Structure 1
Amino acid sequence: MKQLGFQGTQSDFDGQPGVNSLSNLAVIDPVIPPWRFWLLSVGVCLGLFLSLIDSSIVATSLYTIGADLGTVDSVNWVALAYTLAYLGCAVTFASFSDVVGRRNAFVIAYVIFFAFSLACGFARDLPQLIAFRALQGIGGSGLYSLSMVILPELCPVELRQYIGSVIGLVITGSGVLGPVLGGILAQYGSWRWVFWINGPVGFLSLSIFVVTWPKADRLPVFRKRSWRDFDYIGSLLVIAASVLVVYAFQNAGEAPRVVWGEAIFIVPLVVGVLGWAALIAWEYMASVRFGNQFSPVFPIRLFRNRAYTAGAMSTLFLGYPYLLLIYSFPLRAQVVSGKSALIAGIMLLPMLGSSALGSAISGRINAQKNFLWETLLVGACFMTLGVGLSTTISEADDDPRALGFLTFSGLGFGLSTAAATILVTVEAPLQDQAPAQGILAQLRVLGGSLGISTSTIFVHAETRKHLSGILTERESVMLGRDGNALSRQKWEAIHVAYSEAFRKGMISAAVVSGIAIFLTLSGYRHGQRESRNRRREPLQAEEPN
């Protein structure tokens, strides 16, 4: 067997016509100077940070936004519109970059995100804001998935041990800092700066990215995919399947009554599940019929690799407790413990610190030897431990214990996120690196979106149970934020409702992360200890016998 490789041009990498006639990626290790790569990484990571932080920064500003725009009905859609668009397009953007090139795709995603971030800040009413947030989410989705592709792809060999740690740190840091920054901006400024802040930071990030993009002879090279090769059907199916499943649960959570047996829940859920089945069937049929002449958006051949499958499933199931914590813990801190939006966000900082530590540890121990399976398993165990212990939290006096439990969850998420990012560079064939990273990005957001929806379901269920007949509809929404004082009896009922909602959310998170442990165990392979710096063979040809 021998590996095929070739030198290419800038046009090969940026999606213009090139000289390569190979059907798959044929990579030579990039020779970017370390200083240039780290500068490029600043531009990429700032874009990744902004795209991620915008999914959580509004968590502590929603009611402020609703009050300012004159309505609190459907204000949660300000967060959900971004999340659904973000969720739907991650894999599609990764495949899109195979056609137009990594640099061009990243710039396009940034321009979309930048433009509609500013538009959100100028929104005059809630429907307009929700529409702009959905369009902003499309750009954010591209920044997210393409960051996962570009950084491992361009990283020099000697720096690959740090990439998983860097990406893991940005992911966890953005999730935790989002509510903090949102609280600061909401408390000391206008909620509109939650969106306008993306302007100057985004301009700086994009400028760094464009200026530090390497020259042609320092880029890995792959054959340009044409628009004819693009998987239009697969892209449509993965967007529809992902969005409809989350939409069904979010609708159930926001409904004023129980709707589990009604069409508003059943129809989008069934169509979404059928969409996933149709996606798998289509990708299988297309791979059989078209072979290497087709660029699948969701290559099912990746899931024949047990290690990759375990990493992908772990990513899906650990995304659920992570984002559930990000959204539900600040809410509990504000309502039950009486903290301000700023302090509620700051209380997540122990989770950030432990996540950073977990990401660093994961990158270090997998620098030379492949301990990715063990890292994923330990990460899932720590997450399960953290959310499991959090089920014991009830009163405001439990806050110190809660902060300690958050560190376990953060450590678990940092370990698993960095390991999953590294795992793609080791396990996925090089022609599938972009969709493989895109799939992980999609699954992480899918799991997290379901976690947010579940949090909404528990909050609405418990408030209906404990607050009906005690609070008016407006009082149950505003919780005293409109200046109207609530009686002690009403506050006691509110504390019970929100404490119980948080406890049930943590129980569901413990169950889901426990499933992640089981799925990670299924990916064990005896004797798999090769250096993680050795990439999977990209393309091989049989030598004559």
Structure 2
Amino acid sequence: MAVAGAENKSDEPQITADSSGASQSTMHKTALEAPSQGASSDTTVPDVAPFAIEDDKPALRIPLPRFILLASAICLGFFLALLDTSIVATSLHVIAIEFQDTETIYWVALSYTLAYLSCAVLFARISDVIGRRAAVLAAYVIFIAFSLACGWAQNLPQLIAFRALQGVGGSGLYSLTMIILPEVAPLNYQGVVSSLIGIVLAASGVLGPLIGGVLTQYASWRWVFWINGPIGGVSVVAFYFIWPEPEYLPAFHPRKWKEVDFLGAFLLVAAAALIVFPFQNSGVEGGNWSSPRFIAPLVFGVVSLTALFVWQWFVERRWPEKFASTLPMVLLRNRAYSATVIHATLTGFPYFVAIYTFPMRFQVVNGKNPFEAGLMLLPMLAATALGSLIAGAVNGKVHKTAETMGLGATLMLLGCALETTAGTGVAVEGKVLGFLVFVGVGFGLVAAGGTMSGIYTSPAREHATAQGIIAQVRVLGGSIGIAASSAILSVEARKSLGGGGVNPELLLHTGGSVLTPEQQEGVRVVYTAALKNDMIVCSALLAAAVVAAVFVYQKGRLPTGEVMKKRVGEEIARVREEKRRTIELAIANGELQVKPPAGGAPKQEV
């Protein structure tokens, strides 16, 4: 019988390359040749994206203690990026007074969120080129640098511009966290990862107004941005040194720069900005929904969105191997994933509305200072953390994301509907805080559930983009929510306060001590009416989100670990087939040659 490992390699066909194909020869031989028996099968695995599996042998999973340290470092940057979506909620009033501009003040929030949502998928794609580690470090540098610049802004246009650039870095920290944690986590900790992401999402959203209120009240609004410098510095240093060795990372190789879909990214940015802009601008113009300044950008936004879908269709049909599309149609054809995207958009709207509307209401209607206004949201924080923990526990073994997301949207709907009963009294109503608990629990469920659904419904090759899109559309919904809420408030102010010869915007942002009792009562009535209209709109969208959750349901659901193994297996099969076709094409073009076995060297027999 043959001795194991004693076969003469000259009996096997040899693949070589001519001079024109020398560079490809090494790549293809590496892809084809398996290590001989008894030889080491270890491979060098780059710290990059899940795109081309080089070996059947899975990468080693990072030891749990090191994973905890890595997750802590990543989540700290994730927390800072999320924090800046809401930290200015309790500072806008003070910033508006300092720069004497009340009409465009909401662009301090919107410029960040628009850049944040516009670059999330692009950062995910860039990480598929330069690697996860390099992409995270770049995001940190951009985020920290422009956070400091925001603190030194000398006027509102400067602050808005720096906030937009800060949002570019924040988008990378956001989307890459969604990608890296599930990639490096042990399989039996996928549910924990989803819960952790949900908790950080919730905690940052509610702690943002609280921290912003403390810094604004006792230091300066500029520290709202400067605080990112020292904390972000600690986070990036920790991330740099804790990043695991290649053997603990997924065994994939990167894409090329020419494969990044920059045109798709541009169309996505244009669509997002042009759709949000008219809603915010309509508030400044008094809610004139028929004006050209509202209709024109909205039409161009819809055209950009349509062009994006058409371009993605061409990319898939004509150039599937040439571009890594910004919005892969293979994802959108998956009913469960498309429903998850719609659900994230619809639930992002009321979440951001709550984060920005209620702190302002607590200050204006209830007479609280910025710190106290942020403190009022703590019940919502605890409830959101609870919702995320519940979602992780329920989906730990078998994913029940449809049920989780449906229940979460229902609880948010209940909370928003009940908030329409809020009164105009100066005292804080306990029911207002209690109803926010429903919103908090619901958002915790939908945030964690949406993250898990993105993992379960996307192929391994598109995992990075799938998570980036979910992150992006949630912020898109929130950005539209902020703009719409601002417009509703401005319309109510002009309708109720515009007849007294005083600028209604000035009344809304003037301290209570300089207003007459009648004016104070009028302002409280305006804010309460605007809140009611906000909550009616939110309730309608959440009802649609409940319906969307039904379409997330999938039959024959496997255990969480089995789902992840299935996705990896599918990617292995896909890459093997792709390599086979590539080598056959190279042989047909004369770039590779197959030599017959060398003359008759017999195998050694015992």
Specify the TM-score bucket, using the shorter chain as the normaliser.
over 0.9
Relative to 1, partners in 2 of residues 1:365 and 1:470: Cα closer, same or farther, differing over 3 Å?
A: same
Asked if 1:273 corresponds to 2:295, the answer is: no
In 1, the alpha carbon distance for the partners of 2:345 and 2:414 equals 18
Q: Counterpart amino acid of 2:357? A: S
Q: Over residues 381-412 of structure 1, what are the superposed CA-to-partner deviations in whole Å (9 max), with x where a residue is unaligned?
A: 11111111111112335620011111111111
Q: 1:134 aligns with which of 153, 161, 164?
A: 164
Partner residue, 2:344: 315
1:263 paired with 2:263, answer: no
After TM superposition, give the deviation of residue 22 of structure 1 in Å.
4.5
CA 1:254–1:25: 2 relative to 1, 3 Å: farther
Residue 236 of structure 1 is matched in structure 2 by 266
Partner of 1:473: 503
Range moving further from structure 2, 471-480 or 71-80: 471-480
Structure 2 CA distance, aligned partners of 1:498 and 1:401? 17
Query: Which residue identity is paired with 2:303?
Result: L
Hey, what does 1:452 align to over in structure 2?
482
Verify the 8 A CA contact 2:497 2:504 in the aligned structure 1.
no
Match of 1:13 among 47, 59, 64: 47
**Alpha-carbon distance in 2 for matches of 1:289, 1:264:** 37
Deviation at 1:70, TM superposition (A): 4.3
Distance between the aligned counterparts of 1:460 and 1:27, measured in 2?
60
Q: How does 1:91-170 map to 2 (within 5 A)?
A: 91-170=121-200
Contact in 2 for aligned 1:48/1:147 (Cα 8 Å):
yes
Q: Write out per-residue CA displacement over residues 321-375 of structure 1, whole angstroms, 9 at most, x where no aligned residue.
A: 1000001111111111122211111111111111101100101111111211111
1:24 deviates by: 9.9
Q: Distance in 1 between matches of 2:327 and 2:480?
A: 21
**Cα distance in 2 between the residues matched to 1:411 and 1:306:** 26
Secondary structure of the structure 1 residue equivalent to 2:560: coil
Q: What is the correspondence of 1:297-336 to structure 2 with a 5 Å cutoff?
A: 297-336=326-365
Deviates more, 1:448-457 or 1:20-29: 20-29
Instruction: Report if aligned partners of 1:30, 1:155 keep a CA contact under 8 Å in 2.
Output: no
Question: Which residue of the other structure, out of 285, 295, 310, is the alignment partner of 2:314?
Answer: 285
Once the two structures are TM-superposed, the CA of residue 13 in structure 1 deviates from its matched residue by: 2.6
CA 1:469–1:170 in 2, change beyond 3 Å: closer, same or farther?
same
Give how far 1:294 is off.
2.7
Corresponding position of 1:181: 211
Shift of 1:68: 2.5
Between structure 1 and structure 2, the one with the greater Rg is 2
The percentage of aligned residue pairs carrying the same residue is 45
Q: Answer yes or no: is 1:404 the counterpart of 2:438.
A: no
2:242 maps to 1:212: yes
1:427-482 deviation digits (Å, cap 9, x = unpaired):
2100000000000011100011111111101110110011112362277356433x
Aligned residue identity for 1:234:
G
Pair 311,37 (structure 1): closer, same or farther in 2 beyond 3 Å: same
Which ranges of structure 2 fall in alignment gaps of 5 or more residues?
1-31, 35-40, 581-606
Among 326, 332, 341, the residue aligned to 2:370: 341
The structure 1 residue matched to 2:388, chosen from 359, 377, 380, is 359
Q: CA RMSD in A?
A: 2.3
Q: Would you say the 8 A contact 1:380–1:412 is kept in 2?
A: yes
| In 2, Cα distance between equivalents of 1:38 and 1:279 | 39
1: CA distance, partners of 2:375 / 2:534? 21
Match of 1:197 among 219, 227, 232: 227
Does 2:569 match 1:540? no
Within the alignment, does 1:512 sit opposite 2:512 as a pair? no
Q: Indicate conservation of the 8 Å contact 2:51/2:254, yes or no.
A: no
Structure 1: state its 5+ residue gaps: none
Question: SS of 1:538's equivalent?
Answer: helix
* d(CA) in 1 for partners of 2:423, 2:43: 61
Q: How does 1:42-121 map to 2 (within 5 A)?
A: 42-121=72-151
**How much does 1:216 deviate?**
1.0
Aligned partners of 2:386 and 2:441 also within 8 Å: yes
> Which amino acid is the alignment partner of residue 9 of structure 1?
T
Secondary structure, in 3 states, of the residue corresponding to 1:534?
Answer: helix
Equivalent pair of 2:187/2:561 in contact (CA under 8 Å): no
Moved more, 454-463 or 30-39: 30-39
Other-structure match for 2:399: 370
| Partner SS for 2:238 | helix
In structure 2, the residue corresponding to 1:296 is in which secondary structure? coil
Q: Is the deviation greater in 290-299 or in 447-456?
A: 290-299
Q: What amino acid is aligned across from residue 261 of structure 2 in structure 1?
A: D
| Residue type of the alignment partner of 2:429 | D
Counterpart amino acid of residue 387 in structure 2: G
- Look up the match of 1:387: 416
For 1:129, give the aligned amino acid. L
Letter in 1 for 2:47: F
Distance 1:460 1:404 in 2: 27
Q: TM-score, normalised by structure 1?
A: 0.93
Give the secondary-structure state (helix, strand or coil) at the position aligned to 1:403: helix
Aligned-partner residue type, residue 152 of structure 2: F
What residue identity is the alignment partner of 1:307? A
Taking the aligned partners of 2:43 and 2:454, their CA distance within structure 1 comes to 24
CA distance in 2, matches of 1:310, 1:332: 33
> What's the offset of the Cα at 1:25?
11
Q: Could you say which residue in structure 2 is the equivalent of 1:525? A: 554
* Whole-Å separation in 2 of the counterparts to 1:25 and 1:174: 39
Q: 1: CA distance between counterparts of 2:133 and 2:48? A: 6
Q: Which moved more, 1:66-75 or 1:114-123?
A: 66-75
Pairs aligned (count): 534
Give the structure 2 partner of residue 419 of structure 1.
449
Q: For 1:531 and 1:388, locate their aligned partners in 2 and report how far apart those are by CA, in whole Å.
A: 35
User: SS at the partner of 2:87?
Assistant: coil
CA drift of 1:73 comes to: 4.4
